Each structure stands twice: as structure tokens, then as C-alpha cells.
Amino acid sequence: MTLSSPGSYEGGDIQRRADGERAVWACTDGSKRPQREMKEMNLRQEIENYRPVNDQERADKEQMLSFMAQNPDCLTRSNRTAHFTASIWTVNREYTRTLMVYHNIYDSWSWIGGHADGEEDLRSVALRELQEETGVGRAVLVTPDIFSLEVLTVNGHVKRGIYVPSHLHMNVTYLARADEGEALAVNREENQAVKWWSFEEALRVPKEPWMVEHIYRKLIQKVRDSEVRRLKDRVATTA
């Protein structure tokens, strides 16, 4: 089985586990493969290969690649103008609900993610943030491909007593699946609550209208589109 190009969806054929010191890709037939297949493609190549789905992604992809070319420190917070982050849109096994946290800085229900801090493997960053922020350690990536791209504005704020000036997040998003029954844990340093919401609720409870309209709505539609394709593929293979 070959890896799909970034921007397409395998519907769970290839998964990456959040637990374990050295994650590997696990196929649904139980076989495993080393990480080298994805390591051969660096972050810039993955972004270049990603197929945008709308004007927002097309514009943000172009800005990301331009920023990377001009800023060798783009993966670290030492670049105070902008830097890379990774987010993870986590759904349940039925692809009907998503896991969110009540973010301390944004004062809103929010998706999950964090800074690259020098790490080019943003999949690992996304899965690590999921476990640190929610306690969910057995989630799997539905696909190793990039699920979404977005350049996000961050207003100036105080963190741990230090003022952080306004800047941009060059954000790469991945899609994960997790068991709703797995115990949740609140990371008080980052958030106030962790909860599963239906997709309809996920568009209602956040206090950030721009994120709802431009990001969360897009991610939900992508999940629904990919689930339809997955079900069609399943029907085709069993016919």
C-alpha cells in the first residue's frame, strides 16, 4: 500500500499511534512500517504537495512557503513575527463529534495544538499536544497527510508573566480519531476544560467567530466529505 499525497484521505487505512516513544505507521491489517517513508519528505515538500481546497488555503499555503524560504528560524518562537505550529482535529470513531479544550489565553472552546519549537515532524507535535492538553494518549492519525493549512493571527497576551507580542502562527493541521471512552484530563496550565462536542455544537460554543466560520466549519466539512468517500469505498470493496 502506498502513501497518498498530502491533501487526500485514506479513511483510516494508515494510522499513527499517540502512545509509545517511537511511533510507527500502523495499517488496518495489523502490519507496521517504519517512519522513514514520511521522513523522506520534509515539511516544505509536504506543504508544496498539499492541495488547497479553497482561497484561504491557497493564499495561506503561498504565504507559508514564502515565509519558510526567508526565515530559517521559522520553526522556533525566536522568530517573533511568525512561527510554525501544529493543530489536531480529533473526531470520535463515528466521525460525528470532535474533542475541544477551553483555552485559557483565547478564553474560548478551541481545537488542540501547540508550537513546533524546532521540531519539523509536526505530526509528532500534534499528537503530543493532544495527549498533554487532553490526556488522550491512544488516538491515531486517520491519515499521515496534512489535513488543513491556515495562517492564524495571535493577539498580544501575557503568558507566565511575560508579555508576548502579536504574531502569526503558520499552522499545519492533522486529523485524528480517538475513543470517546478514553479518560480525559485537564491541563490547568493551558486550559480549563476538555469535552467532546457534536459538530453542530462545535460551531456554536466557541467565542471566536472568525475561527468558527473560516476554520472549524471547513474542518467539519472536510471530515464529512472524507467519511462519505470512506463509506463509498467500503461499499465498493464489499460489492
Residue 161 is predicted with a pLDDT of 87
CA dist 86 → 121, 149, 169 (Å): 9, 10, 9
Q: Averaged over 163-188, what is the pLDDT?
A: 96
Residue 123 is predicted with a pLDDT of 97
Say yes or no to pLDDT of 165 above 80.
yes
Contact at 8 Å (CB) between 43 and 122?
Answer: yes
Residue at 102: amino acid letter = Y
CA dist 26 → 15, 35, 156, 204 (Å): 5, 10, 41, 35
Quote the CA–CA distance of 23 and 33 in Å, as a whole number.
Answer: 10
Query: What is the tens place of the pLDDT at every residue in 48-72?
Result: 999 999 999 999 999 999 999 999 9
Q: How far, in whole angstroms, is CA 56 from its chain's centroid?
A: 17
Q: Averaged over 116-143, what is the pLDDT?
A: 96
Q: Residue 82, CB half-sphere, CA atoms under 13 Å: how many?
A: 18
Say yes or no to pLDDT of 236 above 80.
no
In this structure, of 47-51, 214-218, 224-228, the range with the lowest mean pLDDT score is 224-228
Say yes or no to pLDDT of 214 above 70.
yes
Q: Residue 153, CB half-sphere, CA atoms under 13 Å: how many?
A: 7
Q: Is 92 helix (H, G, I), strand (E, B) or coil?
A: coil
Say yes or no to pLDDT of 43 above 60.
yes
Residue 175 is predicted with a pLDDT of 97
Confidence of residue 1 (pLDDT cuts 50, 70, 90): very low
Q: Is 128 helix (H, G, I), strand (E, B) or coil?
A: helix
Arithmetic mean of pLDDT over the chain: 84
Q: Averaged over 2-27, what is the pLDDT?
A: 37
Quote the CA–CA distance of 117 and 97 in Å, as a whole number.
Answer: 29
Residue 200 is predicted with a pLDDT of 98
Pick from 183, 226, 198: which is nearest to 92 by CA?
Answer: 198
Confidence of residue 226 (pLDDT cuts 50, 70, 90): confident
Q: Which residues are CB-neighbours of 150 under 8 A, at least 6 positions away?
A: 56, 57, 60, 171, 173, 214, 215
- pTM, two decimals, is 0.81
Print the SS3 string covering 193-236.
EEEEEEHHHHCCCCCCHHHHHHHHHHHHHHHHHHHHHHHHHHHH
Query: What is the tens place of the pLDDT at every residue in 73-95?
Result: 999 999 999 999 999 999 999 99
Say yes or no to pLDDT of 27 above 80.
no
Q: Averaged over 158-178, what is the pLDDT?
A: 93
Confidence of residue 167 (pLDDT cuts 50, 70, 90): very high
Q: Which three cell numbers stand for residue 222?
A: 472536510
